[in-house]
Amino acid sequence: MDRKIESFIQWIYSLRGDIASDEAIPAKPARFGDWPALDARLIEALRSRGIERPYSHQSDAISRTLAGKNVVIATPTASGKSICYNIPVIQSILNDESSRALYLFPTKALSQDQLAELYALIEETGVQILTFTYDGDTAPSARKKMRAAGHIVITNPDMLHTGILPHHTKWVKLFENLRYVVLDELHTYRGIFGSHVANVIRRLKRICTFYGSHPIFLCCSATVSNPKELAEMLIEEPVELISDSGAPMGEKRILLYNPPMINRSLGIRTSSIFEATNIAVEAISRNISTITFTRSRLDVELLLTYIRQGLAKRGLPGDLVAGYRGGYLPKERREIERSLREGKLLGVVSTNALELGIDIGSLELAVLHGYPGSVASAWQQMGRAGRRSDLSAAVMVASSFALDQFLAANPRYFFGASPERARLNPQNLYVLANHVKCSAFELPFSTTERFGNTKIDEILTYLERQGVLHRAGERYHWQADSFPAEAISLRSATSENYVIVDITDVAKPTVIGEVDRPSAPMLIHPEAIYFHGGKSYQVMELDEEGMRCYVKEVKTDYYTDAELAVRLQVLDVFEEAEGWGWGEVLLAAHPTIYKKIKLATHENVGYGHVHMKEEQMHTTACWFTPAEAALSLMDKDSQSSALAGLAHLLRGVAPLFLMCDRRDLQVHSMVKDPFLNKPAVYLADNTPGGVGLAEAAFGLRKTLIEAAAESVMSCQCEKGCPACVGALGASINAKETARRLLSTFEVT
């Protein structure tokens, strides 16, 4: 087995590109602990499931939980985290039949997988422990039984928010006896979603207190740099961290491959998508099970098409490999997951949709087409290839993006970097006020009551003035007619989806997929080419009111790439120092034109105009103004390109230091900002209301300027390239102008 991967790695060394780094992560033997005092039936059940002894981290987690501590388990994928929470939960029910537990998973697919394992363990104990999944698909007849008799209720935060908490009077048994709350995939509770979930937990705890229970929280997280802090922000109680995994791991090789340079002065390398295709095709034809990750849904479809073409050239069937991404229908996704587990598929091309704990078995190779944008994502994607005993490998193919090239030049930044800090802001006023409303609907507030640890008297008086609450003596009661939770989505940015309808056969329109609203301007504007499962369709009509997109299957040799016009407007300044500031901004975007790009060669073969409504977002941003003296020496065009270059540089390096994903940030530049009345470069938090990135960037301003300077100095191009200041054309020396502006900062 091992020889197969070793000879494949030798083959990679024979390619023309550079191996920027090749790290070996040594195999790790298992370390075991002991079971704490458990019910004999449980020990026996574990034994018959083939689990004789717990790994050290499992034993640690179970003991601390049974001792009444909240814990967060942050160990690698496939280290057996579910044992850590299933054991204390089952133990408590064996001890006391009335004991209850609530499991929260961020998505539905996950809970199905974990359920199978839990069921098997329960069955072995021979005791009737009723476990139910409560989600949108649950039949009304089952719901009643679940409320009265369910020991373990498995759901997601959205259902807890709209389906359970507002109806707590029907769930008295659950809330009176709630012993454990399990929060799995904790790292997904970040950004605006995490801010909502923190408030849903405040509501949950408030209801528990009302019914006299005080549940223990059992959290599990993949790689983030601050699991303990994240868990404590979410539940507002002390949490103990368990991060030293005792699970065994096979040896792993991690290669960072940089495609060969074909034009040094322009800094152009061969296309990373072709290089990734080549590597995946070679691996699959060597019978190595391979997962290829890429950053966008369009790239999934392009890579899938190219890999199938590559396999066909070698006489291999194209259906050895499938695509997987958001927007495929659930049934289609489950089918692909099953085929991967059963080894019927040898390859899959995916976005980060497959990063989460979805069970696809362990593969031998992960190919990352481009740095996924964050350290944690990169480790998670690379972790998809990995066996308990055999050698596995991950190859990251650097793209021309700035961060990719920065890491290829400085791989120590990747291997030395701590993973991202998961950020959330439960005090985001918009989020907080909405959940105070929901909570007031559930139970009246006393005038001095806190919500979690937060004082909310001002929000309560505001809601009274709005006629939502009614004050009677020392209590606020709900008085509006509406049901507040229904109108509040926990995933505000992605809650609305366009439905893609195939009208190739007009008599038989078929729904083939979905696209979330923020992605629509790029992916499904009128006349766009939309790819799905390797087939191409053209958008015939986009119904923006009805959220429907009508497509027809077409044969095409091009794809489309839309350009967005972005508008940023400073609304309020919170803090200023040394030419920097941060505050509230309005970010608006709409698509203007689309380019037609030829599939095989990536040549631009035409364009068209797009008319769609502007999408607006209020958020926070950090900005800075380069010294006027340095700018005044330049003409307007040079000023504009120097500022755009600086923005591009910052976009490249900032995610590493802010410990966030590159998609969490937007950059922008203006030669004369009408509000600030001067030239400015902005780094905006890409989440409605912001999650604290703008303030963090303001605090790290010196570091960011130093990193930007290092990035531009170390770039091998002459006048600017996508890896540093962006591809602005050779006529403008953006690299030099950006460097000049940066040097004025070093003086101050």
- For the record, the structure tokens of 533 come out as 């499962």
**Nearer Cβ to Zn ion (397/721):** 721
| Residue 266 CB, nearest approach to Zn ion (Å) | 9
SS3 22: strand
| Residue 731 CB, nearest approach to Zn ion (Å) | 16
**Nearer Cβ to Zn ion (211/413):** 413
- For every residue of 379-435, DSSP letters joined together read HHHHTTB--SSS-EEEEEE--SSHHHHHHHH-HHHHHHPPPPPP---TT-HHHHHHH
**Nearer Cβ to Zn ion (62/723):** 723
Give me the sign of the Cα torsion angle 504, 506, 510, 515: positive
**Nearer Cβ to Zn ion (8/401):** 401
| Residue 676 CB, nearest approach to Zn ion (Å) | 29
| Residue 19 CB, nearest approach to Zn ion (Å) | 21
Which positions touch Zn ion (CB under 5 A)? 267, 715, 717, 721, 723-724
**Nearer Cβ to Zn ion (303/715):** 715
**Taking the CB of residue 699, how many other CB atoms lie within 10 A of it?**
15
Give the residue among 679, 677, 676 at the shortest CA–CA distance from 639.
679
| Residue 723 CB, nearest approach to Zn ion (Å) | 5
**Nearer Cβ to Zn ion (239/721):** 721
509 CB contacts (<8 Å, ≥6 apart)? 501, 502, 503, 550
**Nearer Cβ to Zn ion (490/667):** 667
| Residue 652 CB, nearest approach to Zn ion (Å) | 10
| Residue 717 CB, nearest approach to Zn ion (Å) | 3
**Nearer Cβ to Zn ion (100/735):** 735
**Nearer Cβ to Zn ion (197/738):** 738
**Taking the CB of residue 11, how many other CB atoms lie within 10 A of it?**
13
SS3 637: helix
CA 535 to chain centre: 26
**Nearer Cβ to Zn ion (422/728):** 728
Query: How far apart are the C-alpha atoms of 362 and 354, rounded to whole Å?
Result: 12
User: Would you mind telling me the total number of residues written for the chain in this entry?
Assistant: 748
| Residue 403 CB, nearest approach to Zn ion (Å) | 13
| Residue 595 CB, nearest approach to Zn ion (Å) | 23
C-beta of residue 501 within 8 angstroms of C-beta of residue 550: yes
| Residue 741 CB, nearest approach to Zn ion (Å) | 16
Query: How far apart are the C-alpha atoms of 374 and 67, rounded to whole Å?
Result: 36
**Nearer Cβ to Zn ion (358/715):** 715
- For the record, the structure tokens of 111 come out as 């809970």
Direct distance between the N- and C-terminal alpha carbons of the chain, in angstroms, rounded to an integer: 59
SS3 521: helix
Locus of tokens 């918009």: 430
| Residue 722 CB, nearest approach to Zn ion (Å) | 7
The C-alpha angle with vertex 230 and arms to 227 and 231, in degrees rounded to 5, equals: 85
**Nearer Cβ to Zn ion (132/401):** 401
C-beta of residue 384 within 8 angstroms of C-beta of residue 366: yes
Query: How far apart are the C-alpha atoms of 425 and 363, rounded to whole Å?
Result: 37
**Nearer Cβ to Zn ion (411/688):** 411
Region label for 327, one of left (φ > 0), alpha (ψ between -120 and 50) or beta (otherwise):
left
| Residue 395 CB, nearest approach to Zn ion (Å) | 24
| Residue 725 CB, nearest approach to Zn ion (Å) | 7
Helix (H) or strand (E) holding 660, with range, is none
| Residue 401 CB, nearest approach to Zn ion (Å) | 12
Give the burial class of 270: count Cβ atoms within 10 A of its Cβ; 0-12 exposed, 13-18 middle, 19 or more buried: middle
**Taking the CB of residue 153, how many other CB atoms lie within 10 A of it?**
23
**Nearer Cβ to Zn ion (453/716):** 716
**Nearer Cβ to Zn ion (408/488):** 408
**Taking the CB of residue 421, how many other CB atoms lie within 10 A of it?**
17
Tell me the angle at which helices 429-442 and 191-211 cross, rounded to the nearest 10 degrees.
Answer: 30
C-beta of residue 393 within 8 angstroms of C-beta of residue 4: no
| Residue 201 CB, nearest approach to Zn ion (Å) | 46
CA distances (Å), origin 698, targets 151, 282, 576, 579, 585: 48, 46, 9, 11, 15
